[in-house]
Amino acid sequence: MSLHEKTDSDSWSEFEIPPKTIENWNQIVNLLAKVFNVPSALIMRVHPQTIEVFITSKTKGNPFEKGEESDLHGHYCTEVVRSQKTLLVPNALKDPAWSQNLDTEIGMVSYLGMPLNWSNGEIFGTICVQDVKENHYSELLMELLGQFKEMVENQLSLIMQNEELSKARKKIDDYQQILPKCSYCKSVRLVDDTWVSIDDYLKKNRSTDVSHGICPDCWKIHFPDYIE
């Protein structure tokens, strides 16, 4: 399946991330940039036609601005999303496959990135670090980035669970607003499956006293002789 097909079918591609989660992700990328000693640590988000700088570290020399969007093609992160694998490029200028990468135009010649996905397998984007100099990144640093990837994906999973729970609660609330009524005796069914008269239901649940009268239509049907 192509990247375009995946993102086009991604029903979560535009879901709003909660502010507290964004705050936490800001702390993550700032810590990554500090520990990796690089100018740029990012969480990128993929949309159907573009890729966005969703979170960017507040570090000296970081050329990426939060909210920047560009075409999907020609980026390290696009390959990460497409392949769903870790990508390590120690020096793009020495690698014919990456020497024309768009990020090299702003001086980012080394890259390490991993894919980020929702818990149902749909694409979110990437978590990555970039450097202006050749950088092979140690196994320990790669393992550390993997731990942060897992942390972010766990948060995405929690967001999805909370959203599904909210939808389920709404369905329950909507269902509870429906009042089942017997087609014959006109009694209504309560949540405990007991049946009571509509009068008793209104008195109990609406704190409303019930009076009785005859509507004009029923008067015509039942008392036609008394119509003036």
- The string of pLDDT tens digits covering residues 133-165 is 999 999 999 999 999 999 999 999 999 998 888
Type of residue at 117: N
**Confidence at residue 176, expressed as pLDDT on a 0 to 100 scale:** 60
Q: Is 146 helix (H, G, I), strand (E, B) or coil?
A: helix
d(CA 179, CA 190): 8
Q: How confident is the model at residue 227 (pLDDT cuts 50, 70, 90)?
A: low
Beta bridge partners of 117: 123
> For the CA atoms of the chain, what is the radius of gyration?
30
Q: 43 or 73: whose pLDDT is higher?
A: 43
Cβ pair 201, 190 in contact under 8 A: yes
Structural contact between residues 62 and 39, judged by C-beta atoms closer than 8 angstroms: yes
Residue 40: closest CA among 24, 21, 22, 53: 53
Whether the per-residue pLDDT at 2 is higher than 50: the answer is no
Which residues does 27 contact at the CB level (< 8 Å), separation at least 6? none
Domains and CATH numbers, the chain: 3-168 (3.30.450.40), 188-226 (no CATH)
pLDDT digits (tens, 9 = 90+) for 5-26: 444 444 687 889 999 999 999 9
Cα-Cα-Cα-Cα dihedral of 10, 12, 13, 15, to 10°?
160
Structure tokens at 182: 């017997």
Strand, helix or coil for residue 167: helix
Whether 127 and 149 have beta carbons less than 8 Å apart is answered as: yes
Taking residues 30-55, report their average pLDDT: 96
Q: How far apart (Å, rounded) are the C-alpha atoms in residues 146 and 120?
A: 19
Weakest-pLDDT range from 2-6, 24-28, 30-34, 53-57: 2-6
Residue 97: band (very low, low, confident or very high) from pLDDT cuts 50, 70, 90: very high
What is the model's pLDDT at position 76?
A: 94
Instruction: Compute CA 161 distance to the chain's CA centroid, rounded to the nearest angstrom.
Output: 10
Please give the pLDDT value at position 12: 81
- What is the pLDDT, as a whole number, of residue 95? 94
206 pLDDT above the threshold of 90: no
Given a contact cutoff of 8 angstroms between Cβ atoms, the answer to whether 54 and 125 are in contact is: yes
From the CB of residue 22, how many other CB atoms can be counted at a distance below 10 Å? 14
Question: pLDDT-derived band of residue 228, with 50, 70 and 90 as boundaries?
Answer: low
User: Is 119 or 2 the better-scoring residue by pLDDT?
Assistant: 119
Average the pLDDT over each of 21-35, 141-155, 199-213 and give the range with the smallest value.
Answer: 199-213
Percent of the chain with pLDDT over 70: 85
Q: How many other C-beta atoms are found inside a 10 Å radius of the C-beta of residue 169?
A: 10
Break the chain down into helix, strand, coil percent, rounded to 5. Answer: 40, 20, 40
What is the reported pLDDT for 6? Answer: 47
pLDDT(219) > 80: no
The amino acid occupying position 36 is F
Give the residue from 152, 159, 74 showing the smallest Cα distance to 114.
Answer: 152
